[in-house]
Amino acid sequence: MKCPASLTMRLSLQFAGTAACVLFAAGLIFERVGENQLQEHYRMELDGKMELVRSALESIPSSTPILAMRVRLREAIVISHPGITITVAASDGTVLFSVGKAEVVKHLIEGAEIGKPTPVIWALDHRTYRIRARHLALGIPASQPANVAIALDITEEKELMAEFMRLLWFSMVLATLAMGWLGWVAVRRGLAPLQDISAMVANVSAQQLDKPLPMECVPRELEELVSAFNKMLAQLHDSFRRLS
C-alpha cells in the first residue's frame, strides 16, 4: 500500500502549483502584450516610411521626373534607412525606382498586395520581412498613381523577441522552483508547533496522565485538538485512579 505524502509535501506542492499557474498566466499576458506592442511598432514604422515616400513623390517637379524621384527618395529614406527595400512602379508595370536586395525587389514588384489594410509577413532565406504596398499619387499633373511597396527586415527584432521570451520562460521555471522551495521552508516553519505538540504527546506516559498539555503556546487552529487530547488524558487518569 502506497504511503500518503506528508502534509508538508502536500502544502508545498500546492503552493508551487499555484505559483506556477500565476506565473504562467502572467507570462502569457506579457507575451501577448509584447507581441502586440512589437506589431504596433512595425506598423507605425512602415506607415511613417510610406508617408515619407508619399511626400517625396508629391514634391517631384514635372521636369525630369524619374531622376528627381530617385534623388528625393534616396535623400528622404534610403540614406537614413540603409536596410530598407523600396519599389516604385508605374501603373503599366514600369519600375521607376527600386533599392534593396534583388530577390526582395522582385517579390515587391511581382507579388506585393496593393492596398491591403494590414502589413504582410514574408520570409526569404531565413530572413523575415514586413511589407506594405499602396497606390500613391505623383506630383506630376495628370499622371497615374504609382505602386509603392516597402519591405522592412525584422529578422533581428523577431530573434531578439524570441530570445527574450525564452529567457522569460526559463526565469519563470526557476522562479517556480524557488517559490516551491520557499513554500516548503514556510510550511516547515508553520507546522513547527504541530511537531512540538507531537513530541509532547509522545512523551506522555501512564505516570503523567494528570499533566495536561500546556495551552499557552498552542496556535488557535490547534486549540480544539489539544483541548480534546487533554480531556482524553483526564478521563484516562480518572479511569486509572479508579482501577488503582
Average pLDDT over residues 63-86: 66
Q: Taking residues 211-230, what's their average pLDDT?
A: 75
Mean of pLDDT values over 100-123: 81
Q: Which of 217, 238, 236 is nearest to 226 (CA)?
A: 217
What is the gyration radius of the CA atoms in the chain, in angstroms? Answer: 37
184: in domain: no
- Which region among 1-15, 62-76, 145-159 has the lowest average model confidence (pLDDT)? 62-76
Average pLDDT rounded to a whole number, residues 60-70: 61
Are residues 200 and 106 part of one domain? no
Please report, in angstroms and rounded to a whole number, the separation of the first and last CA atoms in the chain: 42
Q: Which amino acid is at 54?
A: R
Q: Mean pLDDT for the chain?
A: 78
Range with the largest mean pLDDT of 29-38, 69-78, 84-93, 181-190 = 29-38
- Examine the domain organization and report whether 156 and 197 are in the same domain: no
The residue range of the domain holding 86 is 7-163
Give how far the C-alpha of residue 44 lies from the chain's centroid of Cα atoms, to the nearest Å.
22
Binned at pLDDT 50, 70 and 90, residue 61 comes out as low
In a domain, 172, yes or no: no
> 35, 93, 81: which is closest to 56 by C-alpha?
81
Does the residue 225 lie in any domain?
Answer: yes
Is pLDDT at 1 greater than 60 in this prediction?
no
Which DSSP category does 148 fall into? E
- Give the pLDDT of residue 38: 83
Residue 142 lies in a domain: yes
Q: Look at residue 193 in the predicted model and tell me its pLDDT.
A: 75
Q: Is residue 59 domain-shared with residue 156, that is, in the same domain?
A: yes
Number of domains in the chain: 2
Whether the predicted pLDDT of 112 surpasses 70: yes
Is 82 within a domain? yes
Long-range contacts of 227-232 (CB under 8 A, 24+ apart): 229/201
Grid cell, residue 228, equals 480534546
pLDDT at residue number 127:
86
For residues 151 and 198, state if they share a domain.
no
SS3 86: strand
On whether both 41 and 130 belong to a single domain, the answer is yes
Give 161 or 69, the one with higher predicted confidence.
161
The pLDDT of residue 114: 78
Pair (208, 149) in one structural domain: no
Q: Are residues 156 and 219 in the same domain?
A: no
For residues 109 and 60, which has the higher predicted lDDT (pLDDT)?
A: 109
In-domain check, residue 2: no
Task: Establish if 174 belongs to a structural domain.
Answer: no
Higher pLDDT, 162 or 230: 162
Do residue 213 and residue 150 come from a single domain?
no
Q: What is the pLDDT of residue 72?
A: 67
What whole-number distance in Å separates Cα of residue 171 and Cα of residue 57? 49
62 has a pLDDT exceeding 70: no
- How far CA 78 is from CA of 81, 84, 95, 97, 173, in Å, comes to 5, 7, 17, 11, 44
Q: Are 210 and 93 part of one and the same domain?
A: no
Q: For residue 178, tell me if it sits in a domain.
A: no
pTM above 0.75?
no
> Residue written as cell 504527546?
201
Query: Do 120 and 239 fall into the same domain?
Result: no
Mean pLDDT of 63-83: 63
